[in-house]
Amino acid sequence: MSFRSSPAITGTILVADDQASNRELMQELLSHEGFEVITAPDGPTALEELSRAQADLVVLDVLMPRMSGLEVCEKIKANPETYLIPVILTTSLSDKQDRINGIRVGADDFLSRPVDRTELLARVRSLLKLKLRTDELERAESVLFTLARSIEGKDPYTLGHCERLADYSARLGEQLGLPAEQVTALRRGGVVHDIGKIAVPDAILLKPGGLSKEEWKLMREHPVVGERICAPLKSFRYVLPIIRHHHEKFDGSGYPDGLRGQSIPLAARVLAIVDVYDALTTQRPYKRAFSSAEALNTMREEVARGWWDPDIFCQFERLIRNSEANVLSHGATR
Ligand SMILES: [Fe+2]
């Protein structure tokens, strides 16, 4: 069976092994199949190489001096820059404990020593195929983030709004004990929630004064447009309700669906509160930036009026008070 017959999968593979003969053998095997190979004689060098070069896959010997393959794997998986790179650990067939520890530190696959050529190539190709898909997904997400930031960048008054919203919404979500996928959705939602403003003309988006009835109508379409833009991305499925419902109000007077109370998705209620706070504490052409205390007072009145979820607002006040540095001091929303 020839592996050359399958569609060409290429990539850069980092091989870390303290035995020179093992490194050379692996390098020869993988280079022969068209892969770029980088080698490292120990763990620290492997991590250094990884910070310098873009590797698509890492093969680590478990037993290495200075730093074991398990430790290197753990560091790779703990670093947001590298955690998506698949890691194969090579270990002796009999060492079950190595494999259990390997799973614990996030290894993606294992290879028994002595390494079998066919098995090595099959595992490498399978993981690289997966990595290719992850890369595509990452690229699609990063296009959306770039688009969202470019919309934010149009308005000098909204500078940094997305990042602050992402940070504070995720922190508020954590404080409320939301599951990890909702916290991640809040972080993403913070950046992309206003992406639908791409459909709003600049003359309206950047208008210094109030908006006419017609202009408001267009502006109020941005949550639905934003949801439509992000809908094809499966990894954004928890973000979509945040985008669509971030302008709903607790008493049903918000838009686009006029949802009320608990029927507004929880994560959207979280983002709405952070969004409004950021807008209040931001200078706009028609208003000065409120202090944190003033913004919270205003929002307390709005909670009494029925606009915001009182329980979430209560937690948000705690979050703000507990924050040593109040970084939410610039931003805007509409
Ligand atoms: Fe918005």
Q: What is the pLDDT of residues 268-305, one digit of tens each?
A: 999 999 999 999 998 877 778 899 999 999 999 999 99
What is the secondary structure of 201-250 as a DSSP string?
-HHHHT-SSPPPHHHHHHHTTHHHHHHHHHTT-GGGTTTHHHHHHTT--T
Tokens of 1: 């069976």
| Measured distance between the N- and C-terminal CA atoms of the chain, rounded to whole angstroms | 61
d(CA 242, CA 206): 24
Is residue 331 predicted with pLDDT exceeding 50? no
Q: 334 C-alpha to center of ligand 1: Å?
A: 6
d(CA 207, CA 200): 11
Q: 245 C-alpha to center of ligand 1: Å?
A: 9
Cis peptide before 232 (omega within 30 of 0): no
Tokens of 207: 């208008």
Q: 19 C-alpha to center of ligand 1: Å?
A: 57
Residues for the chain: how many in total? 334
Q: 301 C-alpha to center of ligand 1: Å?
A: 21
Cis peptide before 7 (omega within 30 of 0): no
Is residue 112 predicted with pLDDT exceeding 70? yes
What predicted TM-score, i.e. pTM, was given to this entire model? 0.70
d(CA 302, CA 158): 22
d(CA 91, CA 282): 56
Is residue 318 predicted with pLDDT exceeding 50? yes
Give the containing element (helix H, strand E) for 192: helix 180-192
Q: Is the dihedral of CA 54, 58, 61, 66 positive or negative?
A: positive
Q: 272 C-alpha to center of ligand 1: Å?
A: 9
The DSSP bridge partners found for residue 229 are none
d(CA 316, CA 307): 15
Q: 193 C-alpha to center of ligand 1: Å?
A: 6
Give the containing element (helix H, strand E) for 172: helix 161-175
Mean pLDDT along residues 322-327: 62
Q: 47 C-alpha to center of ligand 1: Å?
A: 41
Mean pLDDT along residues 62-80: 91
CA neighbor of 231 nearest in space, from 281, 278, 196: 196
Give the containing element (helix H, strand E) for 47: helix 43-52
d(CA 96, CA 177): 36
Q: 251 C-alpha to center of ligand 1: Å?
A: 18
Q: 147 C-alpha to center of ligand 1: Å?
A: 15
Q: How many CB atoms lie within 10 A of CB 179?
A: 10
pLDDT bucket at 4, cuts 50 / 70 / 90: very low
Mean pLDDT along residues 220-232: 94
CA neighbor of 227 nearest in space, from 217, 242, 205, 215: 242
d(CA 289, CA 308): 21
Q: 212 C-alpha to center of ligand 1: Å?
A: 17
- C-beta separation of 131 from 86 below 8 A: yes
Higher pLDDT among residues 96 and 120, named by residue: 120
For 239-242, which contacts have Cβ atoms below 8 Å and span 24 or more sequence positions? 239/185, 239/188, 239/189, 239/192, 241/265, 241/267, 241/268, 242/185, 242/186, 242/189, 242/193, 242/267, 242/268, 242/271
Report the range of poorest mean pLDDT among 14-23, 209-218, 238-247, 303-312.
209-218
Give the model's pLDDT for residue 303.
Answer: 97
d(CA 108, CA 85): 9
Q: 179 C-alpha to center of ligand 1: Å?
A: 24
Residue type, 186: L
pLDDT bucket at 49, cuts 50 / 70 / 90: very high
Phi, psi (deg, nearest 5) at residue 12: -105, 130
